[in-house]
């Protein structure tokens, strides 16, 4: 699937030229829903696993559903870790969604098995400490005042479907801009989103989160346009 047709008002909102976004089609995730939502948010979307396209687009979206290890195992044959790493080394934006966020951490522990992630962030993804799992449905988030993703939607609710999450942030402080961390709660606090330079991610599904999710994706797409201006 490819698309070069976007809503004209959405394109105008990002400066008249729609940023190119690849939704990485590696065999996992709500790729078609994500692509449609990104088109509505003003992006020129391509749904593909082509390496050159994924490396060269203005933005790369990495969706994911299911088990941590299964997603990592699906990413490796299509060079997902290398593509993500090369983009970030060049300061080119990446957005992970749901398990596409989880695999950015070093490890994932599911049913007692420790699987290696992509290691872009230190830390471990583990089961939520809640009586009822999965955490499924709408929930609020606690976003920082200077968040780019949550500009104008800090008080909104977003749609979650997961049993595992990163529940602490372990990246040491450095001289660079501090990451923007957004939290939510289900049996305890967990990371609902991270904005860390060119690498951003959400534990919830913006493509399933109605107008709030569309606004978040529009905020991200607009940030792509601002980078290329």
The CATH number for 184's domain is 3.40.50.880
Can you give the pLDDT at residue 113?
Answer: 84
Are 13 and 215 within 8 A, CB to CB?
no
Strand order in the sheet with 180-185: 44-48, 20-24, 59-62, 94-97, 199-202, 189-196, 180-185
Mean predicted lDDT score pLDDT of the chain: 92
Q: What is the pLDDT of residue 179?
A: 94
Q: What is the pLDDT of residue 228?
A: 73
Residue 2 lies in a domain: no
> How many Å separate Cα 33 from the centre of its chain?
14
The answer to whether the beta carbons of residues 23 and 31 sit under 8 Å apart is yes
* pLDDT over 60 at 8, yes or no: no
Among 61, 105, 24, 108, CA closest to 217: 61
Q: What kind and span of H or E run contains 164?
A: strand 164-166
**Residue 1 falls inside a structural domain:** no
Answer yes or no: is 136 within a domain: yes
pLDDT tens, position by position, 100-159: 999 999 999 998 889 999 999 999 999 999 999 999 999 999 999 999 999 999 999 999
Q: Is the pLDDT of residue 1 over 80?
A: no
In terms of pLDDT, which residue wins out, 15 or 27? Answer: 27
Is 3 a member of any domain? no
Residue 158 contacts by C-beta under 8 Å, 6 or more apart in sequence?
A: 138, 139, 141, 192, 202, 204, 205, 206, 209, 212, 213, 216
Does residue 146 lie in a domain region?
yes
Q: Is the predicted pLDDT of residue 199 greater than 50, yes or no?
A: yes
| Domain count for the chain | 1
Contact at 8 Å (CB) between 20 and 43?
A: yes
Contact criterion met (CB below 8 Å) for 61 and 166: no
Within-domain flag for 174: yes
Give the whole-angstrom CA distance, residue 94 versus residue 100: 10
Res. 198 pLDDT band, cuts 50 70 90? very high
pTM, rounded to two decimals: 0.92
As annotated, the active-site residues are 98, 205, 207
Nearest one of 23, 68, 83 to 221, comparing CA atoms: 23
| Residue 85 to residue 128: CA distance in whole angstroms | 28
| Residue 38 pLDDT grade (very low, low, confident, very high; cuts 50, 70, 90) | very high
Q: What is the pLDDT of residues 149-176, one digit of tens each?
A: 999 999 999 999 999 999 999 988 766 6
For the sheet with 105-110, list strands across it: 113-116, 105-110, 121-127, 164-166
DSSP 64-81: --S-HHHHHHHHGGGTHH
Give the domain extent around 165. 8-228
Which pLDDT band holds residue 30 (cuts at 50, 70, 90)? confident
* pLDDT, position 13: 43
């Amino acid at each position: 699937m490819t698309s070069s047709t976007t809503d004209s008002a959405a394109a105008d909102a990002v400066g008249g030229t729609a940023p190119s976004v690849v939704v990485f089609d590696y065999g996992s995730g709500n790729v078609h829903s994500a692509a449609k939502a990104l088109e509505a948010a003003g992006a020129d979307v391509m749904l593909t696993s082509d390496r050159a396209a994924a490396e060269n687009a203005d933005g790369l979206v990495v969706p994911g559903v299911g088990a941590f290890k299964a997603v990592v195992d699906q990413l490796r044959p299509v060079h997902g870790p290398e593509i993500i790493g090369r983009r970030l080394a060049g300061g080119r934006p990446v957005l992970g969604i749901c398990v596409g966020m989880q695999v950015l951490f070093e490890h994932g522990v599911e049913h007692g098995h420790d699987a290696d992630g992509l290691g872009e962030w230190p830390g471990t993804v583990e089961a939520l400490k809640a009586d009822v799992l999965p955490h499924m449905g709408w929930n609020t988030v606690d976003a920082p005042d200077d968040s780019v993703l949550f500009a104008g939607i800090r008080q909104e609710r977003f749609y979650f479907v997961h049993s595992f999450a990163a529940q602490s942030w372990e990246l040491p402080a450095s001289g660079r801009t501090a990451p923007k961390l957004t939290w939510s709660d289900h049996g305890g606090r967990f990371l609902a989103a991270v904005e860390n330079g060119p690498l951003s991610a959400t534990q919830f599904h913006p493509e399933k989160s109605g107008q709030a999710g569309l606004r978040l994706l529009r905020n991200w797409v607009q940030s792509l346009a601002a980078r290329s201006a």
